[in-house]
A and B are shown apart, each in its own frame.
Chain A
Amino acid sequence: AQSVTQPDIHITVSEGASLELRCNYSYGATPYLFWYVQSPGQGLQLLLKYFSGDTLVQGIKGFEAEFKRSQSSFNLRKPSVHWSDAAEYFCAVGPSGNTPLVFGKGTRLSVIA
């Protein structure tokens, strides 16, 4: 069965510091992988996605993620965090883009001055 694990429930980083959010997945084939961000009262916004090609994917808002098949991981990174990045981040997996997604439990990011 498909599953997504986000090991970190809550992460706090200083503004300007680098960020890495971890995501591990379990899937039988090469999946479509997604990172979404959810701010309070807002819908989930797609940050980036991967389904083939270059394993380093660039997204919006300066985020990037790297697909590592050997580690079944798709970690999200940002070199310099801004206070506005404070939100809940979800990693998700699916067989394609137009099928239901399986989500991790999310990682809440807090940013301190």
Chain B
Amino acid sequence: GAVVSQHPSRVICKSGTSVKIECRSLDFQATTMFWYRQFPKQSLMLMATSNEGSKATYEQGVEKDKFLINHASLTLSTLTVTSAHPEDSSFYICSGFGGRTQDQYFGPGTRLLVL
């Protein structure tokens, strides 16, 4: 099946710093990628939708200047959390749509802890 990777798998940073999370579709081209956020014991909540070569579409309540999304190629999307604060600590999961069966394939997630 199609594989999506995320890097790093977990990151700890100081408050006020920026963190970049990479999402790669390893064996298929993902024209659309989605970024979700998951709090403990909560469901995945969509943050934004990104299409290759265009600006991301953010969900209501998600600050686009704080969560910068770049989808520069059909296999790579990045999420940068700028000026991170402790309340940004969460589990971030990306998914890419495509592949032979045209499904959404999810990455393993990135656990962010802001101190």
Residues of A within 8 A of B (CB): 4, 9, 36, 41-46, 49, 90, 97-98, 100-106
Query: Is B43 touching A106 in the complex (CB atoms < 8 A)?
Result: yes
A14 to chain B, nearest CB (A): 25
B92 is an interface residue with CB less than 8 A from chain A: no
Interface size, B (range): 20 to 34
Query: Is B44 touching A90 in the complex (CB atoms < 8 A)?
Result: yes
A41 and B57 alpha carbons, distance in the complex (Å): 28
Query: Is B4 touching A100 in the complex (CB atoms < 8 A)?
Result: no
12 extra interface residue pairs, beta carbon distance < 8 Å, beyond A43-B108, A43-B109, A100-B34: A36-B106, A42-B108, A43-B4, A43-B105, A43-B106, A46-B105, A97-B102, A97-B104, A98-B104, A101-B44, A104-B43, A105-B42
Query: Is A98 touching B43 in the complex (CB atoms < 8 A)?
Result: no
Which among A45, A90, A102, A103 has the highest number of chain B CB atoms within 10 Å? A103
B97 is an interface residue with CB less than 8 A from chain A: yes
For window 10-57 of B, CB contacts with A under 8 Å fall at 32, 34, 36, 41-46, 49
Query: Is A98 touching B44 in the complex (CB atoms < 8 A)?
Result: no
Name A42's closest neighbour in chain B (CB-CB).
B108
Checking A44, A45, A98 against B102 with a beta-carbon cut-off of 8 angstroms, the contacting residue is A98
Residues of B within 8 A of A (CB): 4, 6, 9, 32, 34, 36, 41-46, 49, 93, 95, 97, 102-109
Query: Is A44 touching B9 in the complex (CB atoms < 8 A)?
Result: no
A36 and B43 alpha carbons, distance in the complex (Å): 12
Residues of B within 8 A of A9 (CB): 41
Query: What are 7 A-to-B residue pairs whose CB atoms are below 8 Å?
Result: A4-B43, A42-B108, A43-B6, A43-B107, A43-B108, A101-B34, A103-B36
Query: Is B97 touching A98 in the complex (CB atoms < 8 A)?
Result: yes
A106 and B44 alpha carbons, distance in the complex (Å): 9
A90-B93 CB under 8 A given contacts A44-B106, A49-B103, A98-B104: no
A105 and B106 alpha carbons, distance in the complex (Å): 17
